[in-house]
Chains A and B, each alone.
Chain A
C-alpha cells in the first residue's frame, strides 16, 4: 500500500514569506507526527495529532509555527514570517494509533525547506 507522502519535496522561499507543507499519512493511521531535521542531526519532535486534535505541540519552536489536521487525515504545517534558521528537512510520520509509544511510526520522504 501507499506510504506517507509529503509535498512539496523541496521548497525555496525568501525570508519573511509564509509557507505550507503538506502530509498525507498512511490510510487508517490515526496518529500523525511532525519532526524537523537539521543537517547532521537527528529529527526533533514538533507536534503530534491523534485524530483531528493536537495531542502535544510542545516541540513547536515559537508561535510562527502552526499545524492543522481538520479531517483527521491530511495535515498541513504552516510557518509564518520564515527565517533562515527555519531551513531544514521537515518530516511527517504516521502510526496506527497513539498507543503507549510502542507503535511503529512510518516516515515520509520529507520536505526540504530552504529560506534565503
Chain B
C-alpha cells in the first residue's frame, strides 16, 4: 500500500535560517503530493501541492519539487519566520489510494527570534 515517511522531529531553528523537511513516499502509479500545515490552535490547511513528476509547488515562500526518481517531496524555505512555527505534514493521494490522503507522521517546527 501507499506510505509517507517524514524526517524525525522536532526541528528548532532561529529566524531567517534555511529550512528543509524531508519527505519520501511509497506508492504505485502516479500519486499527487501535498504539504499540509497545522498552526497552533488551528485546523489543517493546504500549504502546497504537486500533481506530476518534476512539478514544483510553492506558497508563502515554501517550495517542494516532486521527484519521482527519488520518490521524494522535500519541503524547503530559504528564510523562516517565527510565524512559521507549526506542524507540517507530507501527504499523497491517488495511485492505489484514489481520493484519500495518506499522511506522514508530521514534523514539529519551532522558530525562535
Contact = CB atoms under 8 A, between A and B. Distances in A.
A107 B37 CA distance: 11
Interface in A45-74: 45, 48, 55-56, 59
Do most interface residues of chain A lie in helix, strand or loop, or is the interface mixed? Answer: loop
A105 B101 contact: yes
B105 A41 contact: yes
Interface residues of B, number: 26
Interface in A9-51: 31, 33, 35, 40-45, 48
The CB with the most chain B CB atoms within 10 A, among A40, A102, A104, A106, is that of A102
Given A42-B89, A102-B51, A102-B94, A91 B105 contact: no
Contacts of A56: 98-100
A44 B105 contact: no
Contacts of A102: 32, 49, 51, 93-94
Interface stretch (B11-19, B39-47, B67-75): B39-47
Do most interface residues of chain B lie in helix, strand or loop, or is the interface mixed? Answer: strand
A33 B106 contact: no
The CB with the most chain B CB atoms within 10 A, among A35, A56, A101, A107, is that of A101
B44 A45 contact: no
A85 to B, nearest CB: 18
A98 interface: yes
Contacts of A33: 99-101
Contacts of B49: 102, 104
Contacts of B32: 100-102
20 contacts: A33-B99, A35-B101, A40-B105, A42-B104, A42-B105, A43-B44, A45-B97, A56-B98, A98-B99, A100-B32, A100-B98, A101-B31, A101-B93, A101-B94, A101-B95, A101-B99, A102-B32, A104-B46, A107-B45, A108-B43
